[in-house]
Structure 1
Amino acid sequence: LDPDNEGFEDERLDRDDADFVDVIHSSNGVYELGMREPMGHVDFYPNGGGDQPRCFSA
């Protein structure tokens, strides 16, 4: 799950919705499209949660 901030601030999957929620935070770079706050049982922040190098289409 990669949480999107745009339009989903109040409706989202978090640690209370399942036995185990694994979250990968990305796209928190210049446009801040993702959410930075932890929301799963395990939260990963590849490249610090920012934009992924050489990934222009995502």
Structure 2
Amino acid sequence: LDPDNEGFEDERLDRDDADFVDVIHSSNGVYELGMREPMGHVDFYPNGGGDQPRCFSAGAYQL
């Protein structure tokens, strides 16, 4: 879920890491926290990969 872009330029999740890699890209919105490029056997982009509705207003990033 949400492979991180920040600080992982040289190391990243890819399809060779397991027999089946399923990736959900859900934080490529305003702050561009995730990676946009496909990297698994199957890549899902809910809401086009952008931030999810009410994510910031719900305080999810304060956990």
TM-score in terms of structure 2 length: 0.82
Bigger radius of gyration? 2
The structure whose residues are more often helix, as a share, is: 2
CA RMSD of aligned residues (A): 1.2
Following TM superposition, by how much is the alpha carbon of 1:30 offset from its aligned partner in structure 2, in angstroms? 1.2
2:6 counterpart of 1:3: no
Q: State the alpha-carbon separation in 1 of the partners of residues 8 and 21 from structure 2.
A: 17
Within a 5 Å distance, the mapping from 1:25-36 to structure 2 comes to 25-36=25-36
Q: For this pair of structures, how many residues does the alignment match?
A: 57
**Structure 2: segments with no counterpart, 5+ residues:** 58-63
Match of residue 50 from structure 1? 50
- Higher mean C-alpha displacement, 42-51 vs 25-34: 25-34
Structure 1 unpaired stretches of 5+ = none
Quote the offset at 1:29 in angstroms.
0.8
- Per-residue deviation at 1:28? 0.6
Q: Which string of whole-angstrom CA distances, capped at 9 and with x for unpartnered residues, describes residues 17-44 of structure 1? A: 1100000001111111110000000000
**TM-score normalized by structure 1?**
0.89
CA distance in 2, matches of 1:27, 1:2: 6
SS of the residue 1:23 aligns to: strand
Shift of residue 12, structure 1, vs aligned partner:
1.5
